Each structure stands twice: as structure tokens, then as C-alpha cells.
Amino acid sequence: MSKDYLLYGRDLIFREVHSAIQLTDRELTSVNQRPAISRINGRYRCERCGAAVRTKKPYPCICGGNCLYCSDCLILGKVRACDTLITLEEPNLFAPVHPASLRWIGCLSEEQRNASIEISRTIHANEERVVWAVTGAGKTEMLFEGVGKALDANKRVCIATPRVDVCLELAPRLRQAFPDTSLAVLYGSAEEKYTYTQLVIATTHQLLRFKEAFDVLIIDEIDAFPFYLNDMLYYAAAKAIKQQSSTIYLTATPDRLLKKRIKAKKIKASILPARYHGHPLPVPSLARLSSHASLKKIDSNCYQHMQELLNQKKRFLVFIPTIQLMEDVMKKLVILFSQFSFDSVHSKDSQRKEKVSKMRLGQYDFLVTTTILERGVTLSGIDVIVLMAEHRVYTEAALVQIAGRAGRSKEYPNGEVTFYCTNLTRGIKGAVREIKEMNRLASRKGLLK
Amino acid sequence: MSRCLWCNEEVMYTVSIKELVTFHCKNRPLCLGCSRQLKRLDSFTRCSGCSRISEREAHCQDCLAWRQRYPQLKLKHQAVYAYNGFAREMVKQFKFSGDCELAAAFSEEIKELTRCRRRSSLVIPIPISRSSIETRGFNQTELLLESARIEYQRVLENAFQREKQSKKTRFERLESPQPFIVRDRMEGEIKGKNLIIVDDIYTTGRTVYHAAQLLSQYNPASISSVSLFR
Ligand SMILES: [Zn+2]
Ligand SMILES: [Zn+2]
Ligand SMILES: [Zn+2]
Ligand SMILES: [Zn+2]
């Protein structure tokens, strides 16, 4: 493969590319180069991630001088003031797939089918759309038709999501649906994995390495992005798409701003209030604890609750706000439930993937987790317990997502969700209201069994 | 309100009585949650030769071996934090991702380490290899000293192009030949001074002992060595 393929639609640090694949002078004249850190009105901005440069002063640099650097996108390799970014225009050089890219044969519910048609049309018309679908609505299947048509029209398509877990869950399903289409899954910082493909599944961070590459960009779980990084996400998305292109936002829990835009019809939206299996979303029950947040108080109520679930052979997830608290609670659980099989998992856990798959295979009776399992991960037949639901990590969106882990499968559609809290926060109230609202909407539309 | 250099959360502390009385508020670069994950070595029993956490204060096996090999040096290496998982993550971000700003997280600690009660002291950072200069662009130890506003002298330099330390096995590191030389016109600076050798991490002790052994030939008044992590 010629070196050009590695640069089509990419936005890479010249120094990094050059040390990996030496570019000849002739090749260098054909690529587009621009400074990686620009200066506009006396302010420095990183051109790769769009952030204002926060470094307070220049530091000794590999160029021999002193340079500012961008601390916001360090995870993708350091961008220094002396760096340039290089790109080659995206030419869409893909081998056509006959007779059609999409090989998925499956059934969509009527609601899913309607959304699927709307998505297809939006992609065809190079427009924007929000798909607001409750957890368990079956979003991925609704994308297939639109993506298939785009691929057949020789368009380059990217599905991006803030979470690595979601990427890893999406990849096999798309590979199965589009078996003859070239597909790359990009996450983490390893650049060597990159190959030029028509279909790209990537973390939103990886989008920063693209420039005007995609005809279709689908952003899944758009609300999962930490709030303070939102600007970066929008910058990344805007940079990665071509001028003529379509963007689809998927979410189960749009933030207030997005809801406002939907209500004001500033952006087209498909709203799916019901799950594919037609059962309502489990409404969380609130177990209020009178005293000030203390784990001792949770003891009596919650541990009893867990014991009951275990007696009934029901499997469940226990959400705990911080790693520190999780460690404290685990010490107790190990003593209380020594005869059961369980474990804990958090964002920095190296065995995270193994533990989740063990839970999925039924090798654990329950799993204790921080918010990392709040979304993307689908486990069937589980109940959900949230400890200290008043904690500030539990935003409305996070709680809706967490509650959405329960009752996912057709076989066990009525999972139970319990929030243990000492006081009712906006997040808790909002989450319960939102879930009830979606159930009402679904029932009014006649979508519930 | 400042933000934690590591996790970007707002830094919230209760002000101590002493700070209230003296109106001197310490700058806190890390939030409480993050600073708690760094374990101070002085809360443990340590080997008096290398600050390693140990059952006894007597010299550990490694230190005994060093003493046998360099009887005249008698280093009492001082370090502030245990090089635990969290410290490793920070060092990775600082050195290998090149997040120079993190140096400011340790200003107080570096000041504490290099505070010399004796006059005519000379702070000497361990130099980094040419290949590290090429890929990283900065000497992490010098950055640490600079952000703590500690004056230092580049007394040492690398004698030859070295492979990266971290890629060598422990044995190879212990057996490696003297990597340093004293820079031109620096010999005179050393004589009669109280030298403080500074490194970011003390692992086997090999680096520090090389530096001390070389410097001891130029008649300093004393040699001590310090590092942020051990
Ligand atoms: Zn940046
Ligand atoms: Zn530079
Ligand atoms: Zn912090
Ligand atoms: Zn020792």
C-alpha cells in the first residue's frame, strides 16, 4: 500500500509520520501542512483538538528551543508549537462490494423501522439528526440500512463513541452486518493499528486524527462525554467530516441543550420511547436513608436487600460512586457474602474486560462497579442497586443509563432498580421523571405490551 | 479556585490553623484524593541507606553490597514518595507523554529534599541520555528543580550514547560501566562543596552510585543523594 493511504483524510503530526515512514521531498510537496499550534489574536490554540493552549510557559523541546505544548490531547502524542500537522485530501478509494454491503437479515420493530428510514434519508440528504432512543431500544440495528446505502454509494463512514467499551461492543456487530467492507477499530493511543478503511469505528478522541475524511459520521452515546470535554468533541466531529456530509447523534439521555434544540425543531429528531421488546423501562424505587450519608446505615437496608436477591438467585450490579468507597464497601462484602462469587471493577482495572465477560457468562452472582458500567455494556437478566445515589457523579443522564442496565432481555424484561440515597438530588428526581415520561410517551403511542 | 494538576477536579482543602494565623496559604497543586494516593516514605520504617520500605532501619542487602563496592561513599539516599502504581502513572504522564506542567505538582517536595542546612552546597541533577533528549526534549529532573526554583549546576553529562535504562534488565543495569563525565571547567566547582545529587526515581541505585563515585574524585566536602520516588 502506498504511503498516501495512511494520510487520506488524516490529521497527523508530521514528525510522527516522518519517523515512521520517511517521506520523500516529492511526497512532502503534495501533502498539506499547517502549524499544529496557531496564534489568533494573541491566543494560542491547538489545531488538532481545538483547545486553547493551557501550558503557562514554553518548556525545553526536542527542537532545541523552548515550546508551548497542548496538554488537552497529550493522550494522542504531544503536540508542540514547533510541530506541523499533515493531511492528504480524502479521495474515497474503496473497492465496491457486490451486490450490497449490508448482509444483516433481522427484524426491526415498527418503531425501529420508522427511525431506520428517517436515518437513511438524513444520510442521503447530507443532513443532521438526533436519534433519541431509550436504553434497550436497539439503536445499532436502526443504523444498518442507512450505513449500508452510504457504503454502496462509495461514502466513507465513521461510527464514533466516547467509550472504548462501546467501541468494542459495536465492532463485532458491524463486522457481521458488513462482512465484505473494510473496517478499522481505532481506540487507545496505538497508531500502528491504523489502516485505510471505508468503515471506521473509533473513540471520539481518535476523531482528532482525522480531517475532512467522512461523508457520514455517527456519534453514539454523545452524552457520555465528560462535560468539560464537550467542546473538544464538537471540534473533533466538525473537523473529521467533509463539508458535504451527514452527522447522526445517538443518545438515550440528551442534555438540556439538545432537548431544547429538539423541542425548538432546530435539529431533526427521531424519538423512540420504547424498548424493542415492548416492555416499559424499569422505574427506580427510591430507598431513602434518614441519616447523613454513612455506609453503616446502608448496611442494614441494602445488605439485606442483596441477601434477598441472592436467595432468589437473582443476579445484580451494585453501583458505587468512587473507587475509594468501593474499596471500603468491598471489605464488608467479602465478609458478609463469602459463600458467593462476586468481584469489583473500576475504570483503572486492567482486568475490566475479563470481569465483565465473567458477569455476562453468569460466573458471578453479582458485580460491584463504579460508573464505568453505566452504559454500553449489555447484561441480560440483572437487577440494579445504586449506593449513595445522591453523589455528584450521578447526574440525571448517568442514573437513567444505570437504570437502563436492568430488564434488557426479552426473557427478563422487568428488572428491578433501587437507588439508595440520603437525600433527593436534582439528578435523582430528574432521572425518575425522565424514565416515567418515556414510559408514558411509549404507552400513548401504543408501543407497550 | 485552582484545579488539580492530575485529575482536573477542583482543589478544595480546609485551611489549617497555622495557615490562618500566618496568612501563608500553601499552594496545593493536587487535590486531596490524588495527594492521598501518593504514599510518603517517612511514615514507614525504611532502610537508612536507600529509603526503601523495610522491616528494619539497618542497611538492606543492596545497600550492603554498594557499601562493599564503594566503601568511601556511604550514601544515605533520601526520597519522598513510594514509587507505587499511582506514582508510576504520574511519571509516565510527566516523562513519557511529556506533560512538563506536572513538575509543578512536586515543588514543595523538591524544596524539602534540597533544603541544605550547610552552606556552599551544589545541586547536581542526573543528566539524561542523548536519545531521551531527542525523543523527550527535556530533562525531567531539571524541570522539577526549576519549578521548585532551586538553583542547580549541570556538572555531569553523558559520556556516550546510551540505550534507554528502562529497557535494560536489572543485571545489565547493575553491571553497566560509568556513563557520566564531569563537564569541562566544572571540576573546580566541586571542590569543597556539599554536593546534592538529584534524580527523579531511585530504582537500583546504580545511577546515583555512578554519579557519586565520579564526583568523589574531585574532593567535595560531602555527597548526598535525593530523589522524588523510591
Ligand atoms: Zn490539543
Ligand atoms: Zn519545539
Ligand atoms: Zn486530583
Ligand atoms: Zn537500602
A69 reaches B (C-beta below 8 A): yes
Q: How far is A346 from chain B (nearest CA, A)?
A: 15
Measured between CA atoms, the residue of chain A closest to residue B137 is A62
Element spanning B125, H or E: strand B121-125
Which residues lie across from B104 on neighbouring strands?
none
Measured between CA atoms, the residue of chain B closest to residue A349 is B85
A69 and B100 in contact by Cβ < 8 A?
Answer: yes
Residue B66 CA to ligand 2 center (angstroms) comes to 40
B32 reaches A (C-beta below 8 A): no
Residue B118's pLDDT is 65
A74 reaches B (C-beta below 8 A): yes
Domains A110-272 and A285-444 share a fold: yes
CB-nearest to A74 from B33, B99, B133 is B99
Q: How far is B198 from chain A (nearest CA, A)?
A: 19
Element spanning A116, H or E: helix A110-124
Residue B1's pLDDT is 63
The per-residue pLDDT for range A139-162, each reduced to its tens digit, is 899 999 999 999 999 999 999 988
Q: How far is B199 from chain A (nearest CA, A)?
A: 18
Q: Measuring CA to CA, which residue among B95, B75, B98 is closest to residue B87? A: B95
Residue B71 CA to ligand 1 center (angstroms) comes to 51
**A147 dihedral zone (left: phi>0; alpha: psi -120 to 50; beta):** alpha
Instruction: Compute φ and ψ for A48, nearest 5 degrees.
Output: -80, -45
Measured between CA atoms, the residue of chain B closest to residue A63 is B137
Separation between Cα atoms, residue A27 and residue A193, nearest integer Å: 22
Q: What is the per-residue DSSP string for A248-305?
A: EEEESS--HHHHHHHHTTSSEEEEE-S-TT-PPPPPPEEEE-SSSS-HHHHIIIIIHH
B100 and A59 in contact by Cβ < 8 A?
Answer: yes
Give, in order, the Cα–Cα distances in Å from A229 to each of A49, A234, A371, A422, B5.
Answer: 10, 9, 18, 30, 16
List Cβ neighbours of A197 (8 Å cut-off, separation of 6 or more).
Answer: A181, A182, A183, A184
Q: How far is B131 from chain A (nearest CA, A)?
A: 10
Residue A303's pLDDT is 85
Q: Judge residue B2's burial from the number of C-beta atoms within 10 Å of its C-beta, 0-12 exposed, 13-18 middle, 19 or more buried.
A: exposed
Element spanning B19, H or E: helix B17-22
Residue A409's pLDDT is 84
Q: Which ligand is nearest to the CA of B33?
A: 3
Provide, rounded to the nearest whole percent, the portion of chain B with pLDDT above 70. Answer: 85
Residue A129's pLDDT is 95
B138 and A61 in contact by Cβ < 8 A?
Answer: yes
Please give the interface size between A and B, counted as residue pairs whose CB atoms are below 8 Å apart: 36
Place of cell 437507588: A419
Instruction: Compute φ and ψ for A11, nearest 5 degrees.
Output: -140, 90
Q: How far is A61 from chain B (nearest CA, A)?
A: 4
Q: Which ligand is nearest to the CA of B30?
A: 3
Measured between CA atoms, the residue of chain B closest to residue A228 is B8
B98 and A78 in contact by Cβ < 8 A?
Answer: yes
Provide, rounded to the nearest whole percent, the portion of chain B with pLDDT above 90. Answer: 64
Residue A449's pLDDT is 79
B136 and A228 in contact by Cβ < 8 A?
Answer: no
Beta strands A43-46 and A37-40, pairing class: antiparallel
Annotated domain spans of chain A: 4-87, 110-272, 285-444
Residue B220 CA to ligand 3 center (angstroms) comes to 41
Instruction: Compute φ and ψ for B42, nearest 5 degrees.
Output: -75, 0
Sign, CA torsion B149/B145/B214/B47: positive
Residue A237 CA to ligand 3 center (angstroms) comes to 29
A62 and B137 in contact by Cβ < 8 A?
Answer: yes
Task: Using pLDDT thresholds of 50, 70 and 90, give the confidence band for residue B46.
Answer: very high
Separation between Cα atoms, residue A151 and residue A155, nearest integer Å: 5
In this structure, whether the domain defined by A285-444 belongs to CATH 3.40.50.300 is answered with yes
Domain with CATH 3.40.50 in chain B: 39-229
Instruction: Please identify every stretch of chain A with a pLDDT value under 50, giving residue numbers as ranges.
Output: none
Find chain A residues with C-beta within 8 A of B34's C-beta: none
The mean pLDDT value of chain B amounts to: 88
Q: Which ligand is nearest to the CA of A79?
A: 1
Probe site for chain A from B100, B135, B138, B143 (most A CB atoms < 10 A): B100
Cell of A254: 440528551
Give, in order, the Cα–Cα distances in Å from A445 to each of A128, A139, A253, A276.
Answer: 25, 19, 20, 14
B39-229 folds as Rossmann fold (3.40.50)
According to DSSP, residue B14 is labeled P
Q: Measuring CA to CA, which residue among A151, A419, A385 is closest to residue A289? A: A419
CB-nearest to A62 from B93, B97, B135 is B135
Q: How far is B71 from chain A (nearest CA, A)?
A: 38
The per-residue pLDDT for range A24-42, each reduced to its tens digit, is 777 777 889 999 999 988 8
B2 reaches A (C-beta below 8 A): no
Residue spans of beta strands (DSSP E) within A167-213: 183-186, 199-203
Please, which residues 309-328 of chain A have a Cβ atom closer than 8 Å to chain B?
324
Q: Answer with the residue of higher pLDDT: B52 or A29.
A: B52
Q: Measuring CA to CA, which residue among A59, A48, A58 is closest to residue A15? A: A48
Assigned superfamily of A110-272: P-loop containing nucleotide triphosphate hydrolases (3.40.50.300)
Residue B175 pLDDT > 50: yes
Q: Is the ipTM of this complex over 0.85?
A: yes
B33 reaches A (C-beta below 8 A): yes
Residue A41 CA to ligand 2 center (angstroms) comes to 21
Find chain A residues with C-beta within 8 A of B100's C-beta: 55, 59-60, 69
∠ CA A185-A190-A193, rounded to 5°: 50
Residue B117's pLDDT is 62
Residue A79 CA to ligand 2 center (angstroms) comes to 9
Q: Measuring CA to CA, which residue among A36, A229, A244, A236 is closest to residue A123? A: A244
Task: Using pLDDT thresholds of 50, 70 and 90, give the confidence band for residue B162.
Answer: very low
Residue A314 CA to ligand 4 center (angstroms) comes to 53
Separation between Cα atoms, residue A226 and residue A222, nearest integer Å: 10
Find chain B residues with C-beta within 8 A of A71's C-beta: 99, 101
Q: Measuring CA to CA, which residue among A5, A185, A219 is closest to residue A91? A: A5
Q: How far is A81 from chain B (nearest CA, A)?
A: 13
CB-nearest to B138 from A60, A75, A228 is A60
Probe site for chain B from A59, A74, A391, A392 (most B CB atoms < 10 A): A59
Measured between CA atoms, the residue of chain A closest to residue B92 is A75
Residue A28 CA to ligand 2 center (angstroms) comes to 20
Sequence letter at residue B187: E
Q: How far is A74 from chain B (nearest CA, A)?
A: 6
Separation between Cα atoms, residue B227 and residue B112, nearest integer Å: 11
Residue A298's pLDDT is 58
pTM (2 d.p.) = 0.83
